[in-house]
Amino acid sequence: MVNIIEMKNIHKSFGGVKAIRGIDFTVGPNEVVGVLGDNGAGKSTLIKIISGVHSFDEGEMYIKGKKINPRKHCVKTAHKMGIETVYQEKALAEKQTLWRNIFLGRQMTNKLGFIKVKKEIDETQKIMRELMKFRGIGANAESYIRTLSGGEKQGVAISRAMYFDSDLVILDEPTMALSLQEVKKVLNFILAVKERGKSCVYISHNIANVYPVSDRFVVIDRGIIVGSYNRKDISLEELNEELIQYTKTKTQQ
């Protein structure tokens, strides 16, 4: 089967700073890939290239087998090719209702350009039942985002990505600053992505969160992939020890 993402020898610089250097990175169909690394390692640059925020300077990138022109690839084209990104700041409008957030920028309109409000509300209720698994009587399509918990907000952002028929959902630090209970909610949303036959790239500092939901792990350090592991071949403790060794090696250099 064709990989969702295939990157070959990708380079990206900002001024004189090389953010990523010679990256080879793949995401297969129905695969969750955990991307690990310290701040400044190049994780965010990697996903922003995939999602069309940044172009790349050298190398080749393919999405579902189609070669990407870095000068033409952008967020809009990434969306059209089934790539959705949920950033750690969630990009939700806190003062707007849940249904307005789901369809933000992608409103359902009639021939005259008016928003189909009832259709969007009905679809949001369906998304809440089938994707978010919201069961609380307090939450509904017209609830305001600011009334939701951190984990529920991430659920809205992830479910929005799933609703628009994405093949790949990229999550940038989705459990940052969440309680243990809220982290569990987000991890369940990630498992739901895989259950629906989709792929996911999960970026995090927290190995304990990444480990149980990922099929494979990629470790980035100073713009280079320094390790790649299949979960079935490595325990959480062994993976943690590998990362500690990378840290020791870096401090000795």
Left, alpha or beta for 105 (phi > 0: left; psi -120 to 50: alpha)?
left
| Domain edges within the chain | 5-91+166-252
> Which element (helix H / strand E) includes 210?
helix 207-210
In the three-class reduction of DSSP (H, G, I as helix; E, B as strand; rest coil), residue 117 is classed as: helix
What lies within 8 Å, CB to CB, of 67 at 6+ separation is: 60, 61
Q: Which range, of 27-31, 51-55, 79-83, 245-249, averages the lowest pLDDT?
A: 245-249
Per-residue pLDDT at 148: 83
Query: What is the secondary structure of 216-227 as a DSSP string?
Result: EEEEEETTEEEE
For 170-183, what is the mean pLDDT?
82
pLDDT grade for 250, boundaries at 50, 70 and 90: low
Alpha-carbon span 37 to 246, nearest angstrom: 10
Structure pTM? Answer: 0.84
Per-residue pLDDT at 126: 84
Which is more confident, 106 or 59?
Answer: 59
Could you give the percent of the chain with pLDDT greater than 90?
A: 47
16: its two tokens? 């004189």
For residue 20, what are the β-bridge partners? 12
Alpha-carbon span 124 to 118, nearest angstrom: 10
Tens digit of pLDDT for each residue in 218-229? 999 989 999 999
Per-residue pLDDT at 252: 57
Per-residue pLDDT at 166: 86
Per-residue pLDDT at 137: 47
CATH of domain 5-91+166-252: 3.40.50.300
For 154-162, what is the mean pLDDT?
78
For residue 18, what are the β-bridge partners? 13
- Give the CA count within 13 Å in the CB-facing half-sphere of 243: 22
Per-residue pLDDT at 136: 57
CB 158 within 8 A of CB 174: yes
CB 168 within 8 A of CB 155: no
Which is more confident, 60 or 151?
Answer: 60
pLDDT grade for 210, boundaries at 50, 70 and 90: very high
Alpha-carbon span 58 to 73, nearest angstrom: 14
**In sequence order, what E strands does the chain have?**
5-14, 17-27, 32-36, 58-63, 66-67, 83-86, 168-172, 199-204, 216-221, 224-230
Choose from 140-149, 178-187, 228-237 the range with maximum mean pLDDT: 228-237
Per-residue pLDDT at 154: 78
CA nearest to 169, candidates 5, 20, 2: 5
Which is more confident, 89 or 220?
Answer: 220
In the three-class reduction of DSSP (H, G, I as helix; E, B as strand; rest coil), residue 178 is classed as: coil
Helix intervals (H) in 108-195? 117-127, 150-163, 180-195
pLDDT grade for 248, boundaries at 50, 70 and 90: low
Query: What letter does residue 200 receive in the DSSP assignment?
Result: E
CB 198 within 8 A of CB 163: no
Tens digit of pLDDT for each residue in 96-154? 898 998 888 788 899 988 999 999 999 888 888 777 666 654 568 888 888 887 777 87
Which is more confident, 28 or 205?
Answer: 28
